[in-house]
Each structure stands twice: as C-alpha cells, then as structure tokens.
Chains A and B, each alone.
Chain A
C-alpha cells in the first residue's frame, strides 16, 4: 500500500508540470495587447508598460516566464493583477464558494443517482426503471442553462419555494437547487452507471454463492452485491468533483454565486491572464488530488488492485 501510494504521488509530478505549463502557455499567448484598456481611455504610459513587462517577464520566452511563475507559486505567491490586486485573495474568496456548490452537487448526485441506480438495477424493466431511464435521458439531453433557468423560474419565481438567487452567505438550503442544476447531467450519468453495474453483478457467481449460503436478502444485496457494484460509481463520483468545479460557470451565473466561474469569466474578458492561470492551476490541483483519492479508494474497495 505504501509503495502504491508513493508511485501514484510521483506520477502526479509530470502531469502537474505538463498541464500547468500548457495552461500558462495557452493563456499568455492569447493574441491582443495585454495593456489595452488598462489605463482608461488613453494608451498606457511607457513607464507603466515597461514596469509591468519587467514584472511579468513579458519580454522573455515562455519557458522562463513559466519557471518564474512556478517559483513564486511554490512559495504561495499567485502574483497580482494589473491593478495590483493579489490573485491569491481572489482565489481565496472565490474557491470556497464554488467548492461548497460543487460538494452540494456531489452529495445530490450520490444520493439521487445512486438511489435511482440501485433501485432500477435490482428491478430492471419495471415501472420505476422506465421512469428513471426517461427522466435521466431528459436530464442528459437538456443543457445545464436550460435546467437552471427553468428551475429558477419555476421554483424561485413562479412558486416562490426558494429564493431565485443565492445570498453571499451561501447557506446550504439556498444551494440545493443550484447544486441539483450543476449536478443534473452527472446525476443521470451516475444513475445509469450504477444501474448497469448492479444489474451485471446481480447475476455474478459470488452473489449466487451468497444466496446459497442462506444469507438474508438484504445482506446479499447490501454487503455482497453493493460493495462490488459501487467500485465504478465511486470512481465516477470522485473524478466528478473537479469537473463540477470547472463546470460551475453557468450555474454560478444563473444564481448569482460569487465563485471561480465568474472570476475566470471576468478575467478572460479583461485579459487578466495571471488570474486565469492562477484559478486554473488550482483546479488542476483539485483534479489531481481527487484522482489520487479515487485511486486509493479503488484500492481500498478492490483488494485485487493493491497487489498488482
């Protein structure tokens, strides 16, 4: 187990460097004058341009720039925007909000997706199975912004069950509807994967053995069947957290949540390349850590993995 963990950790290093470099290079090579519009209506003074160029090493090649950026980053310094705001501060305020939203979405996915998947996997072709199949198809086919606007309008405006937007306190109760919207496509996906996995494993020899042992049905299903069927679902759920955070931009926009989606959008429009890179780098870290966590969970759930 220790060696497995070490190997997985070492594998993360080149992936981290490769992906962050790509991001850095792509973002800074966006065409256009980085100083356009930075100094009101006028062109920026030469002095300012010279200062900023030196500060961000804009005259050096991209490898040197990236190297400098990483050096600072490893000391916890994300750099500053052109207007001298600490990017670290922006990240520190925006990330917790997005993380909260994504975690609520993940919890909803796990509860609804898994529940529907287990029920339908055990009883294929029943009424419930068809209901879930159709409704998940619906959720998969509809773009997030449609689900978002429809639910906001229906529940928030028309019926007044929830407030249409989320306050800055980000209370849990306010996040349920946005969380569902954000997780809607994944809920459908999880439900289907769980359904297939359960239905497949239900016929497995070891399930038959468990029945032949005379175990009560709830133990056959709850212990023997579920433990095996959940392996692919757990993998999906774990890797989904990064995707949910990265994909929160639309949902955050609809419900007025101050998260990284909005910050990234704002930074792209105003050509704040350093901000974009900073936010995305943190996202990469989230992805990588979740992947590692999933691998460890996987090994914990399936003993055959550990010894390979």
Chain B
C-alpha cells in the first residue's frame, strides 16, 4: 500500500521526498483521482512543482491535463466526492496543507494563497455588489468596520484600474464588462495581500485586446507585491512575456520543467516540441498549422509506459514499457522522457 505513495518522479528542488525544502509553495508528488459511476479517472499522477516569492510559474498543457485540478487541490476546493487526494503533499512555508486542520487551512486561503478563476461572471456571486464581495474580505477576515472596509475595497478597485471606483462600488457583477469583472475578481483575491496567487486561465473568457491588458495588470501587481504566481494557461504565447519558469503537464504529470528561455530555445520533451510547433507563426503565414496528432489518453485507462507514447513521433519500444521519471537534465530543468539527454544535447 505504502508504495503507492512513493514518488515515481522526482524534480529539481524536491527530490520527491517527504522533506520540506524551504520553498514558499510546493506541490510534491500529488495524486488525485475522480471516482465516478463509469470508473476511476486517475487525473493527477504525481505532480511536483513549486513557486517562490517574486516569481511566476506558468503551468501549461492541453485541456484535461489536470492543471485546474492541481490548483483546486492546493486551494482545498476540490470537488469531493468524486475527487479524492490519494497521495502527495502540498506544502506552504514547509507545512503540509493536506494534513492540517480545516480551520488552519481556511486561514491560509485568501491570506496566504489566493485564486482567480477563468469565468469571473460565474465566479462572482450574482446577488451581491462587487463592492460588498471585496469589502467582505476586510470585514470578515480583518474585522474592519463597514466604512473602513468600504474605503479599503475602493482602494483595491483603484489598484486594478477600474475607472470611477467609488461609483462602481455598488454595481452588481452583471453590470460590469467582462474585463472589468476580471479586474474586480483580481481586486478581491488580492485584498488580503496573499503571498501566492493562482490564476487559472484568467484571460480565456475575454477579448484579445482585453486579454493583454489583464495580463499586463497581473504581471505588474505580481512584481509590485513580490508575490509568487502560478499562471495556468494553454496559451504558449501568453507565457513568454510573464513567466519565469514553465511546467508542462500531460495526463496528470509534469513532463517538462524549465525556465522560459531554455524551454523555447531547446525543448527537452517531444510533447513540448509539439506545443511550440503548434504556435501560429507570422513567417509561416498561409501554411497549415502544425498540431500534435491524436488525442490525450483516457484517464481511466492510461497506456502503460510513457503516457505520451501513442502520439509521440520519437517513440521507441522502451516507451511502451517503462514510465520515464522526471529527471534533472541540466541546471534547473527537468524532463520526463527516456531520450531527454539526447534532446538537450542536440545541436
């Protein structure tokens, strides 16, 4: 039984062990499954990543690769049942949140780690004003009086550059435009000055022009406050500007982790290469867009060996037998491919 909990993968900085490592937030060999009527879906199969103060980690991967479920597990908002954590650790300041009391964990939410969601319209409560929902943080969590909480909430709206913040305080979410709603959501999550901000596809629901504005705002706030930020996205274009490091997810695992420059310059995993190749490029206008062939695996029945092998152009017989562990392949970079060394050392 205990070997289920033992890491198959190890990553730079964590060693896959149960040891605290001095990181701000650290996910260590996390495993999550969804037990549904149709069967058990193994959604997270040993995810390991970390983020420190002042840096932005981008988490990249196709739809269904488990980016959001990992974030939900960190926040403690996993849908249980059907979702269950079956192994691993989530450490905040070295303390395992998965083994804390519910009350201890609640206090970290919003104040230690905050989250913004993809669809601000459904994530904000439709029957309360935007101002109420921000001021609520100051009133309930900080015990401030009504007037003081309102003042602080208006300051927050100002900080996220909502024009006429004072007048907007009493508006309901549906009276805001999409971009403004996402700004309000950011204001709400930053109210208690969290150390880590998880942004789960914060711009996907928005127009392209607004997307850029929101990304700029997030990057600016992250820098000012020296927060650790986990930016979840499947848009490689977005990450290049804002992220320091990138973790690429596939079928509930991290398959590659590297800093932005290395990852773009020389991906060390065939899946990452595929992702980079599928970015539309201006100099190849008119040509057919390259995509990764095939579909992500069925999580109730992940193929043996490397989960990417049915789609991998470089697959060899060994790939169908042995799961490649996430191994260090250079300073601060790791890859889970049997041929990672070759990929890194190619000219």
Contact = CB atoms under 8 A, between A and B. Distances in A.
A28 B206 CA distance: 64
A227 B119 contact: no
A204 interface: yes
Given A211-B76, A213-B114, A301-B127, 19 more contacts: A203-B79, A205-B119, A206-B124, A206-B126, A209-B124, A211-B109, A213-B136, A214-B106, A214-B109, A214-B111, A215-B141, A216-B106, A219-B140, A224-B125, A227-B125, A228-B126, A302-B126, A303-B126, A303-B174
Contact of A212 (B115, B172, B175): B115
B51 to A, nearest CB: 17
Interface string B91-117: 000000000000000111111001101
B77 interface: yes
A205 B123 contact: yes
B226 to A, nearest CB: 21
Nearest to A302: B127
A42 interface: no
Contact of B117 (A209, A215, A224, A303): A209
Interface string B185-226: 000110010000000000000000000000000000000000
Contact of A210 (B125, B141, B172, B175): B125
A243 B140 CA distance: 42
B319 interface: no
Nearest to A301: B127
Contacts of A206: 122-126
Contacts of B174: 303-304
Nearest to B109: A214
A228 B124 contact: no
Interface in A214-231: 214-217, 219, 224, 227-228
B157 interface: no
A212 B117 CA distance: 10
Contacts of B77: 208, 211-212
Contacts of A209: 117, 123-125
Interface residues of A, number: 23
Contacts, number: 72
Contact of B110 (A213, A227, A307): A213
Interface band, chain B: 20 to 34
Interface string B67-85: 0000000011101000000
B152 to A, nearest CB: 15
Contacts of B123: 205-206, 208-209
A228 B122 contact: no
A307 to B, nearest CB: 8
Interface of A: 203-206, 208-217, 219, 224, 227-228, 301-304, 307
A216 B110 CA distance: 12
Given A203-B79, A214-B107, A227 B127 contact: yes
Contacts of B309: none
A208 B114 CA distance: 12
B225 to A, nearest CB: 18
B9 interface: no
B182 interface: no
A168 B319 CA distance: 88
B137 interface: yes
Contacts of B108: 214
Contacts of A307: 175
9 contacts: A205-B122, A206-B123, A208-B77, A215-B141, A228-B125, A228-B127, A301-B127, A303-B126, A304-B172
Nearest to A206: B125
Nearest to A208: B77
B127 A215 contact: no
Contacts of B115: 212
A214 B77 CA distance: 11
Contacts of B126: 206, 228, 302-304
Contacts of A228: 125-127
Nearest to A213: B110
Contacts of B175: 307
